[in-house]
Structure 1
Amino acid sequence: MTRGPATPLPSPKARRRLREAASLTQTQLAERVGVAPGTVRAWESGRTTPRGRKREAYARLLKTLAEEEESAARQAARTPQPAPPPKTEPTGDRASAPEACPGAEAEPEPEPEPVAMPMPMREPAPASQARSTREPVPEPRPAPAPLTPAQAFDALYEFSAPALVRQTFLLTGRREQARESVERAFQTAWERWPEVARDRDPVGWVRATAYEYALSPWQRFRPRHRHPEPPPADPGDRTLLNTLLRLPPRHRRTLVLYDGVGLDLPETAAETEASTPAAAHRLLRAREAVAGRLPALADPQVLHRRLAELASNERLGAARPPTVRRGGERRARFRTRAAIAFTVALIGTTALTVRTAPTHYEPPVSPGQAVRGVPPRVAPGSLSDEELELRQKLRDQMQDGPERLSPQLE
């Protein structure tokens, strides 16, 4: 499963060159695009790629810088150079020509037209010569058919995957993790194939992704990380591998890229997202650490050869390209279906909540409290004779109460 093409961008190395040619720092470029300086370092190293509006703004800025560089080059080319002193010819037509007025520019002489060289003509074969003995006329070869995206991906994988697995093994010291990191990197490249296919260094794009996945700190939480793999059989290889694994991840990556892969210092700095002085400092510290435990590897040439031997001695294979492509497509389909299922579940939950939620406010009922001292209520029964007599007496008497007493004089 591939994505649609996005806005084309120059290679990470060209992005860095355009920024440096414009005398801009990463912080200044980040302010003009509206991102953090670390994001610009990631873009120039090729580890990440801008998307959406940030990609459009970054592409426009790089295009402006490239146009400014071209205009500066054209202006430098138009700058007149000091003319050489005129040659005096005593004889010929030029000697009799009138002298040019001072301050007037001489008309440029027309360049001689190139003379077409006659092509050697082949003599026709004699009629007596047999027709079968004549030289056959070569037929024009048909133009090669363009490669499909799958064929181009397979060619890139078969060319670079074995070397990338060996390089990743030097970073991790684990064979299965190295294979998995390279496969994941190629699966990511297949998902973004229109972008990777236009890149000037697709191998570097995949290498940066594989290194980033292999050195991720989340790898230590995997169950596979708790079980160590068997070390190399050669004691020298085992000592060198243990020395590499003791280095910090950034120093180890810089050492492998510079002394193992053979990149120059600016490319190593761009891929490790560091400045050139910082990359040089990491490289020197890594070499000092290796030479401290293995003095025989103090020479960079010897260290380069030993790293190549260590990676080649291990039997590290890679899966077939169709298997990697199908694995990446399955992962993409799984993520797509998971996103659709999550969206559907969210919509269903929202609809159920809207359906069952109350439409008006209902005050809560306060909890009841026990009241003591009240006699229990009893059911009424038949009256006794005394109660009947009392009731009759009350009915016969006046209901207004006793008469009112008024004060009188004696």
Structure 2
Amino acid sequence: MTQGSATPLPAPKERRRLREARGLTQAELASRLGVSRSTVRSWETGRTTPRGRKLEAYVRLLGVGTTLSDDAVSGRQEGSVPALVGAGAPPPSRANRVSEDRRASEDRTADGPEPAEHRDRGAVDRDADRPGGEGERGDTDRDSAVREPSLTPAQAFDALYAFAAPALVRQTYLLTGRRELARESVERAFQLAWYRWPEVAVDRDPAGWVRATAYEYALSPWHRLRPRYRHPEAPPAGGSERALLDVLLTLPPVYRRTLLLYDGVGLGLPETAAETEASTPAAANRVLHAREAVAARLPELALPEDLHRRLTELGSSERLRAAKPRTVRDHGEHRARQWTRAAIAFTVLLIGVTALTLRTAPDHYEAPLSPPETIHGLPPRSAPGPLSAEELVLRAKLRSQTSSGPERLVPDIR
């Protein structure tokens, strides 16, 4: 379940983000690829696309295959995320913070000549890239880091699960009000992520991919038909937590999800609209209406800051433990094997039924029998009718006599 060698080229905006995540400027990347800086700028704006060996080298320097591993490791090492917001995008690494400082200088020089200090710095970078300098050793180290991923697919999945699963279970509990359904939704989402790991590993926000899948599964209307989910679960112990959860569950599912993403997870309004498949104005209206509904029942939560704090406290008050990542992977693989065997069995059954049908089906055409018709002009068919009373008496008499017939027909020898 690893990604193939033919790695697709990311989108233009994603190319710039990956370059900045590697801590490279456009000039440094152009120097390594042997092209001009304007060529790299046109690649990142989408005007042109690299081809051939330039494409392979460009993708390798961007580190498309190792993006998830670096982000998951950096998110796990930071460890300073809130209890409810942990399933959002991983916190920026040091390379991302450095790239923010370099972006301003690149934007200032994009439309005009470079200032003298930038030209001097470019000259220093070119001198450092010469053989024998420190730049060559640094470039070699960075290239080796790109070529050799630090984590295997299983380790990267475990890192993502350890980073996102605990907070995602708490979010799903706020979304559904059911503890078992929350754990089941998160496990199913991660099982699907492991099944489609080559796609999830190169996604810009793997935690967001899993979050959207878990939310869709948790809000499925088919759960109400399951016997175990027909009755409500025990509410939280605290009175304030119980009141807030009751208010959340009275909201429509789409409003509840939008409010949780915006005020609970802390996503921006465009990201919330994209994840809920709505326009930005529609997402904003949903947030406003959901806040008004909560404030009408709980006036102390009229401020968004207080609502965010209470949502975090409500999610943290419940002891919702997620399963081990290895257990989730094993169950996902077992489920995939079962579905594969079921598909094979159904295919074999379909082939058998088709063969039996072909064997027993008629192989030639038989004309159907024409409907009967009445023929006129022929005499009716004669047949003996019922016996009369006299005929019945005579028949009984004949049957009662001897087998040789009446006596008068027997010759008398006397």
Smaller-chain TM-score range? 0.5 to 0.7
Change (3 A) 1:365 1:228: same
- Residue from 221, 237, 240 that aligns with 1:236: 240
- 1:200: how far off? 2.2
Larger mean CA deviation between 335-344 and 188-197 belongs to: 335-344
Aligned residue-pair number? 281
Alignment deviations for residues 164-212 of structure 1 (CA, whole Å, 9 cap, x no partner): 0000000000000000000000000000111111122111110010001
Change (3 A) 1:315 1:9: farther
Residue 48 of structure 1 corresponds to: none
2:217 maps to 1:210: no
- Residue from 343, 346, 364 that aligns with 2:347: 343
Check conservation: 2:12, 2:43, Cα contact below 8 A: no
- Residue from 378, 382, 390 that aligns with 1:375: 382
- Residue from 354, 362, 378 that aligns with 1:358: 362
> What CA distance in whole angstroms lies between the structure 2 residues aligned with 1:351 and 1:331?
30
Check conservation: 2:191, 2:328, Cα contact below 8 A: yes
Once the two structures are superposed, the pairs formed by residues 259-278 of structure 1 within 5 Å of their partners are 259-278=263-282
User: Residue type of the partner of 2:227?
Assistant: P
Once the two structures are superposed, the pairs formed by residues 176-215 of structure 1 within 5 Å of their partners are 176-215=180-219
- 1:68: how far off? 2.3
Q: Normalized against structure 2, the TM-score is what?
A: 0.59
More helix by share: 2
Mind listing any 5+ residue stretches in structure 1 that lack a counterpart?
Answer: 18-62, 85-107, 117-141, 379-410
> What CA distance in whole angstroms lies between the structure 2 residues aligned with 1:270 and 1:4?
28
> What CA distance in whole angstroms lies between the structure 2 residues aligned with 1:226 and 1:250?
21
Mind listing any 5+ residue stretches in structure 2 that lack a counterpart?
Answer: 18-41, 51-105, 129-143, 386-414
- 1:67: how far off? 1.7
Change (3 A) 1:163 1:76: closer
> What CA distance in whole angstroms lies between the structure 2 residues aligned with 1:148 and 1:220?
39
Change (3 A) 1:78 1:232: closer
Check conservation: 1:290, 1:298, Cα contact below 8 A: yes
- 1:83: how far off? 11
> What CA distance in whole angstroms lies between the structure 2 residues aligned with 1:286 and 1:321?
35
> What CA distance in whole angstroms lies between the structure 1 residues aligned with 2:358 and 2:43?
52
- 1:374: how far off? 2.8
- Residue from 309, 313, 324 that aligns with 1:305: 309
2:223 maps to 1:219: yes
Task: State the SS of the aligned residue for 1:68.
Answer: coil
- 1:339: how far off? 1.4
Change (3 A) 1:365 1:175: same
Change (3 A) 1:366 1:64: farther
Change (3 A) 1:83 1:203: closer
Alignment deviations for residues 257-298 of structure 1 (CA, whole Å, 9 cap, x no partner): 111111111111111111111111110000000000000000
Percent identical among aligned pairs is 66
Task: State the SS of the aligned residue for 2:320.
Answer: coil
> What CA distance in whole angstroms lies between the structure 2 residues aligned with 1:69 and 1:264?
31
Residue 326 of structure 1 corresponds to: 330
2:47 maps to 1:68: yes
Once the two structures are superposed, the pairs formed by residues 155-174 of structure 1 within 5 Å of their partners are 155-174=159-178
Alignment deviations for residues 23-48 of structure 1 (CA, whole Å, 9 cap, x no partner): xxxxxxxxxxxxxxxxxxxxxxxxxx
Residue 179 of structure 2 corresponds to: 175
> What CA distance in whole angstroms lies between the structure 2 residues aligned with 1:306 and 1:75?
41
Change (3 A) 1:79 1:174: closer
Check conservation: 2:13, 2:45, Cα contact below 8 A: no
Check conservation: 1:251, 1:282, Cα contact below 8 A: yes
> What CA distance in whole angstroms lies between the structure 1 residues aligned with 2:115 and 2:4?
55
Once the two structures are superposed, the pairs formed by residues 132-147 of structure 1 within 5 Å of their partners are 146-147=150-151
Q: Normalized against structure 1, the TM-score is what?
A: 0.60
- Residue from 127, 147, 154 that aligns with 1:150: 154
Indicate the structure (1 or 2) with the bigger Cα radius of gyration: 1
- 1:376: how far off? 3.9
Change (3 A) 1:75 1:255: closer
User: Residue type of the partner of 1:361?
Assistant: Y
User: Residue type of the partner of 1:319?
Assistant: A
> What CA distance in whole angstroms lies between the structure 1 residues aligned with 2:11 and 2:110?
29
Change (3 A) 1:77 1:223: same
> What CA distance in whole angstroms lies between the structure 1 residues aligned with 2:254 and 2:364?
61
Check conservation: 2:258, 2:276, Cα contact below 8 A: yes
Once the two structures are superposed, the pairs formed by residues 74-153 of structure 1 within 5 Å of their partners are 79-80=111-112, 146-153=150-157
Residue 399 of structure 1 corresponds to: none
> What CA distance in whole angstroms lies between the structure 1 residues aligned with 2:48 and 2:273?
24
Q: What RMSD in Å do the two structures reach over aligned CA positions?
A: 4.0
> What CA distance in whole angstroms lies between the structure 2 residues aligned with 1:334 and 1:184?
15
Once the two structures are superposed, the pairs formed by residues 37-56 of structure 1 within 5 Å of their partners are none
Change (3 A) 1:152 1:286: same
2:299 maps to 1:292: no
> What CA distance in whole angstroms lies between the structure 1 residues aligned with 2:301 and 2:111?
53
> What CA distance in whole angstroms lies between the structure 2 residues aligned with 1:296 and 1:13?
42
Alignment deviations for residues 218-252 of structure 1 (CA, whole Å, 9 cap, x no partner): 22222222121111111111110010001111111
